[in-house]
Chain A
Amino acid sequence: MTRWTVSLATLIVMFFLARSAAAQKLVTEGGIGLGTGLQRSDLIQEGLFQRARTRVVVPFTFRSDEDMSQGIGVVGIFEIEPKVGLGLEARYVRWLGKAFSGFVGVPAIIAPKTLVGVDVGVDLEIPLGKFGIFLEPSLAAVPLGTDLPGDHVLLWALVSAGIHAQF
């Protein structure tokens, strides 16, 4: 009984006296921007490209402060013109410097019909104090989804720009 009492008291004392260890913190960044670009498919009949839909993008990135060179990202996609659509994109982001990063991702339009593909791009960031401006060119291939009329791969060459901030 005495042994259990001493052990428990020691455990409690150590628990309350111990300083909190420095754990890794989540570094979150977010922003909002506008994007558009060109699209192509083998369905196209006039010219090589059509203008892609204009979209509002809302990117968020998450990374650990112990490894700031890589992280994951989630991008909200709101197509607004000439047709509306709603989508998401999940990304793996690799920073190659403070103002330059590259990513590969899986963009998906989920409404009103679905599209799923893969994309690759880079992200240039211009810091402006607490905020910053991002410029993001990307290429995407979209082979799946109910929004495709048949077995045709849709290609996007997009550019997005906007502001971002670290939370």
Chain B
Amino acid sequence: MRNFEIDKRRQSGPRTTAAHGFALIAAISVGAAALVGCGTYGDPCLRTTDCGSGFVCVEGKCQVDLGDNPADGAPTSDVVVSGDAPTSGDGAIDVNRDASTDASAPEGGAPPPDSTGSDTPRDTGADGDAPETASLDAPRETNDVAETGVSLDANDARAATDTGGGNGDASSDVRADGDSGSVIDVTLDPFDAAG
């Protein structure tokens, strides 16, 4: 009985060795993956998997992945939110991101969600396409600033700020001009946006 067990063990030896070999290769592969670099911004790439998480391979270099269109993922994301657009009311968003984002932002309509989709809905009420000084959501006395015809109501101001901070970027440069133009420029740091 004992000899039989020994023989059986001997017979299963090569299979066990092969299984151990493949397991060793898999372990080496996983270990190597954990140790090597990860294709950060600007690194050369010829394959999409050459770039690390949050980056896409565009024209041979790893670029920040800002949207669903890798070809437009270049870090040129200066986002400008104007409180009173000259023709279509407030909320016109000039987003230099990609074509899909621009196409999905109809004037006066619902704005596109940010990359995380976590924005609270903007005010898309009656002031969507109306002239700025003619129609506001709330009574004029409560929203206008010093009777100067400032056309940014409280909800819009909050929404504009959300557009800049929607990426969870605490360091976003949000600059609000207090003049009658009520232009709020939001500059996104592309590196933080990807993070």
A residues engaging B (CB < 8 A)? 32, 39-41, 43-46, 50, 56, 58, 78-86, 112-113, 115, 146-149, 152, 154
Do A81 and B36 touch (CB < 8 A)?
yes
Do B49 and A112 touch (CB < 8 A)?
yes
Given A149-B70, A154-B47, A84 and B58 contact (CB-CB distance below 8 Å):
no
Q: Of B28, B30, B32, which is in contact with the most chain A CB atoms at under 10 Å from its CB?
A: B32
Do A149 and B25 touch (CB < 8 A)?
no
In the bound assembly, the distance between CA atoms of A45 and B43 in angstroms comes to 11
Q: Chain B 10-53 against A: per-residue CB contact (8 Å), 1 yes, 0 no?
A: 00000000000100010011101100110100001111111000
Interface status of B122 (Cβ within 8 A of chain A): no
Do A149 and B28 touch (CB < 8 A)?
no
Interface status of B60 (Cβ within 8 A of chain A): yes
In the bound assembly, the distance between CA atoms of A112 and B47 in angstroms comes to 11
Do A148 and B50 touch (CB < 8 A)?
no
- In the complex, besides A41-B60, A149-B46, 20 extra interface pairs with C-beta distance below 8 angstroms are A32-B21, A43-B45, A43-B59, A44-B46, A45-B61, A50-B44, A56-B25, A56-B28, A79-B29, A80-B29, A83-B39, A83-B49, A83-B50, A84-B33, A85-B49, A112-B49, A113-B49, A146-B48, A148-B47, A149-B48
Interface of B, secondary structure class, is mixed
In the bound assembly, the distance between CA atoms of A86 and B26 in angstroms comes to 10
Total number of residue pairs linking A and B with CB closer than 8 Å: 71
* Total residues of chain B contacting the partner, CB 8 A: 24
Chain A residues with CB below 8 A from B56, complex form: 149
Given A45-B60, A45-B61, A82 and B37 contact (CB-CB distance below 8 Å):
yes
Give chain A nearest CB distance to B132 CB in angstroms: 44
- Closest chain A residue to B61 by CB distance? A45
Give chain A nearest CB distance to B38 CB in angstroms: 8
Do A78 and B25 touch (CB < 8 A)?
yes
Interface status of B57 (Cβ within 8 A of chain A): yes
Give chain A nearest CB distance to B25 CB in angstroms: 6
Chain A residues with CB below 8 A from B57, complex form: 43, 149
Give chain A nearest CB distance to B10 CB in angstroms: 17
Given A81-B36, A154-B46, A43 and B25 contact (CB-CB distance below 8 Å):
no
Do B32 and A80 touch (CB < 8 A)?
yes
In the bound assembly, the distance between CA atoms of A79 and B36 in angstroms comes to 12
